[in-house]
């Protein structure tokens, strides 16, 4: 099924930053940010055990447990089990994403895409989130950026384990939808080529943004649109560099990316356009994309996101981006 009808709007709230990504956030600030998202009418919240070794789920659950459960849509992820034993968060092997949650909880994280681990992961998430059900479950990071040359082996475990379990849970009505949540297009392309199981949607982070979209446009997005597999865009600001931050792909942005952002900003300024509005509206212009879920750690940022989605962006701005070669010639533009 399409999840477009399940999602309550085009703008959701991504909670990776609430797991103390890049910095330690006080509990009060995290709670105030979730509350701000709610107060601005956002009703889709996405989280994962990986975000701070359960910290993001715990913080999200604190606030949402006080809200009527039927009033919002909730997604989390499977593929990692959080244990009670401790480890050094800064010393974890996270592939290309080293040090990502070094300020998170010290609980040991184990990668496991098997059927049993999937069921256990869901059970653990429900407890941390203080809820009785999940709407969408994503299979998390089963891709090369985390698993290197082993990624296809991990993918196969997920295909025969997590995928089938989630397919069954959806068919039984335990969850409403499932898919993959990744930072790479390859596992999604592979999944679309399978006869079964059939995911409902994908959460694609950082691969359909103003800064990085050419690869996704080649095959993934046309195939997803054709097969009615919706795309939720994660990381529409490319880890923050498109929103005044210094990170790209979860690390310090390299010089060529910073230079490209400066060129986009200059055009935006010339046309009186906010950079966040440009980034958000570009990501949502493709027919396959149904929502974007920027993350935030301050209440004011949520207000900016809501305003960015509503901002009127002149057509001349998109034309200028295209003429300067800053976006692909075949990228659909906002109407």
Q: Which residues are catalytic?
A: 46, 51, 77
Which candidate, 252, 287, 307, places its Cα nearest to that of 42? Answer: 307
Burial string for 262-277 (b: 16+ CB within 10 Å, else e) reads eebeebbeebebbbbb
Q: How many residues does the chain have?
A: 335
Rounded to whole angstroms, the Cα distance separating 241 from 196 reads: 38
Rounded to whole angstroms, the Cα distance separating 328 from 4 reads: 26
Place of tokens 């080293």: 98
Burial class (CB in 10 A: 0-12, 13-18, 19+), 31: middle
Q: Which ranges of 148-230 does DSSP label H, i.e. alpha helix?
A: 151-160, 162-171, 186-192, 214-215, 221-226
Confirm if 211 and 238 have CB atoms less than 8 A apart: yes
The values of phi and psi at residue 196, to 5°, are -155, 160
* Tokens (6 digits) for 182: 């990744």
Rounded to whole angstroms, the Cα distance separating 117 from 96 reads: 24
């Amino acid at each position: 099924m399409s999840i477009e009808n399940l999602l309550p709007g085009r703008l959701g709230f991504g909670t990776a930053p609430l797991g103390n990504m890049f910095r330690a956030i006080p509990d009060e600030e995290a709670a105030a940010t979730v509350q701000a998202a709610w107060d601005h009418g956002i009703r889709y919240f996405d989280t994962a055990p990986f975000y701070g070794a359960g910290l993001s789920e715990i913080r999200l659950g604190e606030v949402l447990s006080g809200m009527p459960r039927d009033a919002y849509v909730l997604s989390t992820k499977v593929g990692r089990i959080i244990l009670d034993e401790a480890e050094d968060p800064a010393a974890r092997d996270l592939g290309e994403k080293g040090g990502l949650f070094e300020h998170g909880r010290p609980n040991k994280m184990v990668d496991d895409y098997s059927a049993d681990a999937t069921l256990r992961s869901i059970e653990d998430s429900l407890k941390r989130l203080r809820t009785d059900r999940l709407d969408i479950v994503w299979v998390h990071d089963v891709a090369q950026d985390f698993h290197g040359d082993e990624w296809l082996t991990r993918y196969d475990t997920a295909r025969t384990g997590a995928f089938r379990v989630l397919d069954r849970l959806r068919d039984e009505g335990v969850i409403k939808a499932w898919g993959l949540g990744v930072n790479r297009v390859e596992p999604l392309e592979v999944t679309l080529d399978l006869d079964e199981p059939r995911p409902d949607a994908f959460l694609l982070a950082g691969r359909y943004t103003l800064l990085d979209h050419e690869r996704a446009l080649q095959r993934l997005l046309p195939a997803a649109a054709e097969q009615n597999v919706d795309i939720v865009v994660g990381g529409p600001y490319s880890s923050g560099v498109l929103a005044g931050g210094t990170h790209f792909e979860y690390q310090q942005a390299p010089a060529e990316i910073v230079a490209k952002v400066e060129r986009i900003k200059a055009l935006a300024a010339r046309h009186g356009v906010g950079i966040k509005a440009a980034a958000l509206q570009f990501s949502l212009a493709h027919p396959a994309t149904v929502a974007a879920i920027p993350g935030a750690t301050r209440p004011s940022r949520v207000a900016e996101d809501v305003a960015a989605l509503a901002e009127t962006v002149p057509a001349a701005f998109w034309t200028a981006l295209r003429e300067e070669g800053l976006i692909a010639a075949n990228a659909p533009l906002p109407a």
